[in-house]
Amino acid sequence: MFALSAAVILALAVSGNAQNLGKPVLFTDGLSPHVDASFWAHLNPTQSTWDQWGWGWIPQSCFDAANSNNVSPYDFEVFNVHYTDCGTAWVFCRHHSASLSQIDMIDLFGRLPVHERQWIRHVVAVPGGGSAYELNADVVFQGPVGTPSVFQHEVGHAVDFYKNGFQSSGTSQFLNAIQQDSCVPDDYANSNNVEDYTQVGVLSLYEIVNPGGLDPIGANWRCLVNQKNVLDGFQRDNMIPGGVCDRRWADSTIVKMGPAVPRVKRGPVGPIPQPAGLPVPGPSKAGPDVYKNLVFNATEKRNAETRQAAWQKAAKGAEA
């Protein structure tokens, strides 16, 4: 793929998008306080195991994310995550000082429906103040953003850009729906149609997994019903939990972390997933999305650590 500057990628991603929607909002405090408790309870983790790469090698797009976030590629841990609902592992990249732990990343990504996850190439965590972005089918989490709604929002950007072969949030159907409705989900959704679309997607996933759907959410969500109906038509089939993956992007090219890596270091990388599917077809960029009022869950974090340890132990026992 030819190289594009960040500015050009951003220009391509937002070209033709409606900015500053100026609509009343359903929630003034963001979506997390209204959806994440249910997500923690009803988005079930997918069983998985992971294996660490040897130090020295990293996917090119993770290398680029390190440079973009002013951290050293040498300080990354790279690991394969094998979910039971997909035959090809995902490669994750985590900076040693990232707020999200390896288990956080594995657990939160694995809670999302596999037919959404399959549109993501790499999952990356770096230090930061509480933001995230999607870039060319990678999702990059900056700082303390470990909630299901954040992961759904960022993965939702890739589904928006790639699932239908066009940017669903930029279609006349969705832009007209914004005009027809009397509200958008929250203040951040008011930024532009791209962020609005993915926030509507968070509400749509809530409707799918929450007992009673959207009605118990505590506000009259029907003020955005046209937006939700258009989004559901574009991608609800990929938002239903269950099933197995039926497509994947090829992994980013593996490169050295830098010149300090010995030439003989290529061997200990460990199992590398075979590239599957097509290369990411073109640039996409959404964010950085800045998050506030996030609802974390310390109990679920501990449960994830216990659960992952048990899955790892069982897998090693099966190999013995």
- Distance set, CA 302 to CA 101, 217, 274 (Å): 12, 27, 32
Q: Please say if the pLDDT value at position 73 is more than 50.
A: yes
| pTM to 2 decimal places | 0.90
Band of the pLDDT at 282, cuts 50, 70, 90?
low
- pLDDT computed for residue 317 by the predictor: 77
- pLDDT computed for residue 17 by the predictor: 58
Q: What are the boundaries of each domain within the chain?
A: 25-297
Lowest-pLDDT range, 142-146, 158-162, 244-248, 270-274? 270-274
Q: Please say if the pLDDT value at position 272 is more than 80.
A: no
288 or 49, which is more confident: 49
Phi-psi region of 148 (alpha: psi -120 to 50; beta: other; left: phi over 0): alpha
Band of the pLDDT at 204, cuts 50, 70, 90?
very high
Instruction: Give me the torsion for CA of 249, 252, 253, 254, rounded to 10°.
Output: -120
CA gap 115, 68 in Å, rounded: 29
CA gap 272, 233 in Å, rounded: 36
pLDDT digits (tens, 9 = 90+) for 44-63: 999 999 999 989 999 999 99
79 or 278, which is more confident: 79
